[in-house]
Amino acid sequence: MKITIEVDCTPLEAREFMGLPDVQPMQAAMMDKFQQRMMENIDKFSPDAIIQSWFTFDPKIAERFQSIFASMTGLGSGRNSDKK
């Protein structure tokens, strides 16, 4: 014997039926707090601020970037272009 029961309800109605708490107010409060913190710190994540933090971390990073890019493009390797 097989019995099929179909229940048509919203997620809120299902939570209430199962006795689970309504967490929507807590979620809304947490999202508001998260958004407020993001807006307070948005300037720290601008491209200028990120690059500035890199350069203050290691003063010679500009030279290192230059050598990395030169080695990637083959400009700083000193290889001969004549291949026989």
Is the separation of the CB atoms in 62 and 55 below 8 Å?
yes
What is the predicted pLDDT for the residue at 44? 77
In sequence order, the 6+-apart residues with CB closer than 8 A to the CB of 49 are 43
CB 64 within 8 A of CB 58: yes
Q: What is the pLDDT of residues 4-51, one digit of tens each?
A: 999 999 988 999 999 999 888 999 999 999 999 988 888 777 888 777
**Half-sphere exposure of 49 toward its Cβ, with a 13 Å CA cutoff?**
6
**What pLDDT score was predicted for residue 69?**
84
Higher model confidence: residue 66 or residue 57?
A: 66
Looking at the predicted structure, is the pLDDT value of residue 62 above 70? Answer: yes
